[in-house]
């Protein structure tokens, strides 16, 4: 099941996966820290920035398939890839 959908806000997307910011930047959306981003849905942002919504959602949902370099399954991990402390414990 996809984690990202057209009705979630940019802020929610960043909470879901901080790596979403790189996807947004790749589409020319440098507004991730903007206060409006906390209220603007992905669908609204795609429209405003003239981005194909389905392509953006596809790229965001591909983030779910990426594995962390430390191999942990913690979605809020923080190693070099995701800021966990698991590598420090090894």
Tens digit of pLDDT for each residue in 49-60?
999 999 999 999
- Three-state SS annotation for the chain: CCCCCCCCEHHHHHHHCCCHHHHHHHCCCCCCCCHHHHCCEHHHHHHHCCCCHHHHHHHHHHHHHCCCCCCCCCCCCEECCCECCHHHHC
- Please give the residue that has the higher pLDDT: either 21 or 75: 21
As a whole number of angstroms, the distance between CA 74 and CA 31 comes to 27
Could you tell me if 24 and 10 are in contact, meaning their C-beta atoms sit under 8 angstroms apart?
yes
pTM: 0.69
**Residue 14 in this model has a pLDDT that exceeds 60:** yes
Task: Extract the tokens encoding 56.
Answer: 């953006």
Query: 10-89: which CATH number, 1.10.3470, 1.10.3910, 2.30.30, 3.40.50?
Result: 1.10.3910
């Amino acid at each position: 099941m996809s984690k990202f959908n057209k009705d979630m806000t940019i802020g929610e997307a960043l909470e879901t996966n901080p790596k979403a910011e790189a996807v947004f930047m790749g589409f020319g959306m440098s507004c991730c820290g903007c206060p409006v981003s906390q209220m603007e849905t992905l669908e609204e942002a795609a429209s405003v920035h003239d981005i194909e919504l389905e392509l953006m959602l596809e790229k965001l949902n591909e983030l779910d398939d990426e594995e962390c370099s430390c191999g942990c399954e913690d979605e809020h991990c923080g190693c070099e890839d995701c800021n966990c402390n698991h590598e420090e414990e090894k």
